Amino acid sequence: MPYGRWSTPASTSPSSAATAVQPAYDERYYREEFGLDDLRPLSRPWWAIRYYGVLCRRLLRASGGRRFCDVGCAHGWILAWLDSEFETWGLDVSEYAIARARNVAPRAHTVVHDVTHGFPESLRGIGFDLILMRYVLEHLADPGAAIAAAAAELAPRGALLFSVPNTASPGRRWKGERWFGYRDRTHCSLLEPGTWERLARDAGLRIERTWSDGLWDVPYVRGVPALVQLAVVGAPAIAQVLAAGTFLPPRWGENLLVLARRPG
């Protein structure tokens, strides 16, 4: 698969960046570009889904919230973690992904919708206690507008949790054009951590916590087996996933995670 080279507002893409085109998030994308269409137990994606599912459940329980929305829900795996205990909604621009999500998480309310146009009329005014945007904002030309749209649909004291490629990651410095943030050709907004926080504050949210997901994009060093590297540099990430924790500093991982809350 060719590495993506896309221009970004933060000038974080390789110097050979080209202009991004509107992607088609179809079956081919999930199988070839995204590299995932089925969730194998105990695989790296399975652990990532478990991490976000447990974390979202913990956040909802701690706040006493009931209403959860996954923006960019893809195949609905996180919805499936939560839909037996909470009221769940899922949005995705991909008709293919939503068709899969309706089988994976049949209790969830799932809608085909492009969040660049805000939230659909049917979801406005619900007042979500938690909105998740996992690996969504980097695909949007105007991620600030999407954050503002999500913030407007939060209940008082509701929270937005989003995850984006971390341009301050050591992995980006080590791997250059081979970094995972550049390998997906649909990434068009790879911003600095401070910019992501500013966009959340501009939407009227209060930053509650920022952290990272650790170093997992092995190999980083040529000639050393990937599993060996994962056992060494990836140990903190593995510990955080197992604990569903939020303790890794923002600049220590491949993705930046931001938890921002609407004032009560």
Q: Is residue 3 part of a domain?
A: no
Is there a domain that residue 177 lies in? yes
pLDDT band at 20 (very low <50, low <70, confident <90, very high): very low
Looking at residue 95, its amino acid is E
Output the average pLDDT for the chain: 89
Residue-level pLDDT at 39: 79
Percent of residues, the chain, with pLDDT higher than 70: 89
At residue 160 the predicted structure's pLDDT band, cuts being 50, 70 and 90, is: very high
Total of domains in the chain: 1
Question: Could you give the percent of the chain with pLDDT greater than 90?
Answer: 80
Tokens, residue 201: 């504050």
165 or 264, which is more confident: 165
Measured over all CA atoms, what is the biggest interatomic distance in the chain, rounded to whole angstroms? 54
Q: Is 135 left (phi over 0), alpha (psi -120 to 50) or beta?
A: left
Instruction: Give the domain extent around 73.
Output: 27-261
Kindly state whether residue 197 falls inside one of the protein's structural domains: yes
The arithmetic mean of pLDDT across residues 191-195, rounded, is 97
Q: At 160, is the secondary structure helix, strand, or coil?
A: strand
Sheet with 109-112: list strands edge to edge: 109-112, 87-92, 67-71, 128-134, 154-165, 255-261, 206-212
Rounded to 5 degrees, what are φ and ψ at 231? -65, -30
Contact 81, 56 (CB under 8 A): yes
Classify residue 132: in a domain, yes or no.
Answer: yes
112 phi and psi angles, rounded to 5 deg:
-80, 120
Residue 180 falls inside a structural domain = yes
Is residue 13 situated within a structural domain? no
Does residue 22 register a pLDDT over 90?
A: no
Q: Is residue 227 part of a domain?
A: yes
Q: Which helix (H) or strand (E) holds 87?
A: strand 87-92
Q: Give the residue carrying structure tokens 């309310």.
A: 109
Whether this model's pTM surpasses 0.85: yes
Does 41 fall in a domain?
yes
pLDDT band at 12 (very low <50, low <70, confident <90, very high): very low
CATH of the domain at 222: 3.40.50.150
Euclidean distance between CA atoms 238 and 20, whole angstroms: 33
Q: What is the pLDDT of residue 198?
A: 98
Instruction: Determine the Cα–Cα distance for residues 249 and 18; give it in Å rounded to an integer.
Output: 32
